[in-house]
Structure 1
Amino acid sequence: MTKKRYLMYGSQLYALAILRPLQNAIIERGDEVAWFFDGPGAEHLQAHERHLQSVEEVKTFDPQAVFVPGNVVPDFFPGIKVQVFHGLATDDTGKKGHYRIRGFFDLYCTRGDEETCRFQQLAEKYKHFRVAQTGWPKLDPLFSETQDADLRTQVGIDVKQPVVLYGSTFSPSLTSAPYLYETIRQLSQQGDFFWLVTLHPKTDPELVARYRGLAGKNLRFFESHQDIMPLLRAADVMLCDTSSIAIEFQMLDKPLVTFRAKCPGHQQIDVHACEKVEAALKKALQRPEELMKATREFTQSLHPWNDGRSSQRVLAAVDQYLARGRAGLKSKPLNLLRKWKMRRKLGYYRLF
């Protein structure tokens, strides 16, 4: 049987964590996979991961499908273009533009019922793509039963304090990192909590350096390219802002504290003052019944899958699309300006 070929297309470091579970599922099927980056990420590929460095190499590889956790993809790459998303947040949870159709994709692999319904309505409106509810590949390791049983040992800590995971988005209007630095510094010195800290890859390098400098007896700093799944599993509570990493944490039925979240709800304890962070964390650690009930209802609506097999469902959806072809679909929009920008970015101006 001829092997199928798949391309992982990345523009940001987060592509690695999102697409690697999908890569594992492809390898398990005995098929081939390669990576192409138009931004950071290639420097963190492992020895066994195949890296294509030019458009010509991609065309020679000739993938049947290209998986994309971003908003755009070169239209001149072979294969159907598959949107797998770069976060769980939607327009309703603080991610503006989640449902914007940019005209690049043939297949949207959605997660929850509401998201699927919204994209299906858009598919019926535009008629140039299909939708399949599959779950999100990035979360597969979160629900894997093969993880190390001693998760704190896995991330290199052996502590008796409650473990707080702090993560932040990079957007200037949403990030909490500039405001919470001093609070986290003081609380880590105080020693009531042990801190795991990681920041978005696009965070200001100077701010990253300041947080990195907090590492000590009660705080571990993790670089943005490192796997955060063990951190999510090892922590007891999370402190965050408007970042989809917070939703990933809640998938584990754990309490969340947010700082000035854009769209706070009953599923989190949201505070607006730095001096209220400590009390909020202590309250969250008690796992109030109302908070945890709201958390479960919220995560179930966004991502009902917890079997760790979303990658397999994505591949099955691609198989179905390829078998059917574009029958019944209209041509995708010309999208000339966006396509030109992509060609200019990659320095590729040939028609074929």
Structure 2
Amino acid sequence: MNYLTATKNKKYLMYISQNYSYAILRPLQAQILAHGGEVRWFLAGSEVNPDFLTTDEPRLRTIKDVKNWAPNITFIPGNIVPSFIPGKKVAVFHGFNSEKRSSEGNRGHFTIRGCYDLYCTQGPNTTTRFKELAKQHGFFKVTETGWPTLDPLFSNTSNNPYVSDDPRPTLLICSTFSRKLSLAPKLYEQIKHFSEQGKWRILMQFHPKMPVEWVNKYKALSNENLTFIETDNVLPLLQTADVMLCDTSSVLLMFLLLRKPVVTFCNQKPLSHLLNITDADDVEAAIEHALTKPTDLMQNIESYCQELHPYTDGQSSQRVLNAANEFLQRNEKLKPKPLNIIRQLKMRKDLNYWGW
């Protein structure tokens, strides 16, 4: 059933704590505004830069402001949200399940923290597990929608600032921030060689939590062959590149959805849709092989994408908005969420809020 018309005159809060969340939620914001709803942004913590807000994106600066505005629905692309934030709380995820183990001994992507009323999942390989967890816990619902972040990924690239007439293949290098998992400390000499060699046009983009020492080291390599880019929107980079070199960062999964090959260095779960290597000396040959788009690899990528995120219509934002409105309208009786007293106290302290 179409619940998009229910958007009109409703209030939707975008609750974010990282800069990459802007790109995740803006396609959803566009759908809300197009269907007559109101949007406000709340920036939690010191790691999100308010300068990324545009002049037509109103910000609520305090929890009191949020409570006075009283959103009907709050969208969160992070792991946690305080219980005192108003509105039905909808998880839209900050990345794909990249198979990294969490410190809690569970797969981090599927850790249930007791914060959400509705999870909008990205594809079959996460929906199935979340539906099992919903049945087990009883205090949240699950709807498969696709991921709003990717709607612009499947649009044209006419305004892409990274498109170039450079005839060389474009290599995109991305990395996670964990020293144990990151390729940055381990492949520095190889990447420095590539920047001097000039065989490829290289674009580099790191996770925002990457230690500044490594950001600066790689920035120093910048020349006519290598460009280091700091951005809150990685999608144009993904559209531009021919091949990606990565480690375990979930950004590689978005690249695969464009049906492009990824070379991974010491990936924790190197399945057949990746070209994984464990020896730094093999990086160059693996990239060259990936550029040929071998048939078996491309078939494996296609099969994986159908499980990960089968939607390529650029309308996941509409499905998320529809699912959230349906959840609000049906007002189905669920079990109460756990109190999470310690976590709630910590969030109150972090946000310096002690009211009700």
TM-score, length-scaled by structure 2 = 0.93
3-state SS of the aligned residue for 1:186? helix
CA contact 1:94–1:242 (8 Å) conserved in 2: no
Candidates 177, 193, 201, aligned match of 2:200: 193
Tell me, what secondary structure is at the counterpart of 2:185? helix
Q: Which amino acid aligns with 2:158?
A: D
**Local SS of the residue matching 1:179:** coil
* Correspondent of 1:297 among 292, 299, 303: 303
Quote the Cα distance in structure 2 between the aligned partners of 1:236 and 1:101: 36
Match of 1:148 in 2: 158
How far does residue 158 in structure 1 lie from its aligned partner after superposition? 2.8
- Find out whether 1:63 has 2:71 as its counterpart: yes
Cα deviation for residue 94 of structure 1 reads 6.0
Gaps of 5+ in 1: none
DSSP 3-state at the match of 1:98: helix
Task: Select 2:344's aligned residue among 336, 339, 348.
Answer: 339
Q: Name 1:47's counterpart in structure 2.
A: 55
Q: Which residue of 2 aligns with 1:182?
A: 189
SS at match of 2:108: coil
Q: Deviations over 1:113-148 (max 9, x none)?
A: 131111111111111111000000111101124x31
CA deviation profile, 1:146-196 (whole Å, cap 9, x unmatched): x317x5xx3153311100000001112211111122211111210110001
Match of 2:290 among 279, 284, 301: 284
Letter in 1 for 2:206: L
Q: Give the drift of 1:256.
A: 0.6
The secondary structure found in structure 2 opposite 1:220 is strand
Whether the 8 Å CA contact 2:163–2:240 is kept in 1: the answer is no
Are the equivalent residues in 2 in contact too, given 1:112–1:304 (CA < 8 A)?
yes
Among 102, 107, 120, the alignment partner of 1:109 is 120
Letter in 2 for 1:129: F
Give the aligned partner of residue 7 of structure 1: 13
Give the C-alpha shift of residue 26 in structure 1. Answer: 1.2
Structure 2 counterpart of 1:214, one-letter code: L
- 1:218 has 2:229 as partner: no
Task: Give the letter for the 2:342 counterpart.
Answer: L
Whether 2:125 is the aligned partner of 1:120: answer no
- Residue type of the alignment partner of 1:137: P
SS in 1 for 2:96: coil
Distance in 1, Cα, partners of 2:50 & 2:68: 19
- Determine if contact 1:94/1:262 at 8 Å carries over to the other structure: no
Q: How does 1:165-176 map to 2 (within 5 A)?
A: 165-176=172-183
Aligned residues between the structures? 344
Report the Cα offset of residue 90 of structure 1: 4.8
Query: What root-mean-square deviation, in Å, do the aligned CA atoms of Structure 1 and Structure 2 show?
Result: 1.5
User: 4+ runs of 1 displaced by more than 2 Å?
Assistant: 93-96
Farther off after superposition, 8-17 or 129-138: 8-17
Question: In structure 2, what is the Cα distance between the partners aligned to 1:20 and 1:182?
Answer: 38
Which of 230, 235, 249 in structure 1 is aligned with 2:236? Answer: 230
CA-to-aligned-CA distance 1:253-284 (integer Å, 9 cap, x gap): 00110011111111111111222111000000
Please say if 1:34 is aligned against 2:23. Answer: no
Distance verdict in 2 for CA 1:267–1:94, change over 3 Å: farther
Report deviation, 1:43.
2.5
Aligned residue runs from structure 1 range 302-341, under 5 A = 302-327=308-333, 329-341=334-346
Helix, strand or coil at the partner of 1:72 = coil
TM-score by length of 1: 0.94
Evaluate the alpha carbon distance shift between residue 38 and residue 315 of structure 1 in structure 2; reply closer, same or farther with a 3 A threshold.
Answer: same
- Equivalent-residue separation in structure 1 for 2:56 and 2:285 (angstroms): 46
Match of 1:274 in 2: 280
- Alignment identity in percent? 46
CA apart distance, 1:326: 3.5
Alpha-carbon offset, residue 299 of structure 1: 1.3
Match of 2:256 among 226, 250, 253: 250
Distance 1:343 1:49 in 2: 25
Please give the alpha-carbon distance, in whole angstroms, between the structure 2 residues aligned to 1:89 and 1:126. Answer: 20
For 1:344, what is the secondary structure of its paired residue? Answer: helix
Paired letter, 2:202: W
What is the alpha-carbon distance in structure 1 between the residues aligned to residue 69 and residue 15 of structure 2? 13
Structure 2 CA distance, aligned partners of 1:174 and 1:13? 22
Deviation readout 1:268-314 (Å, 9 max, x if unpaired): 11111222111000000000011111111111111111111101100
Q: Relative to structure 1, is the Cα distance of residues 222 and 159 closer, same or farther in structure 2, using a 3 angstrom cutoff?
A: same
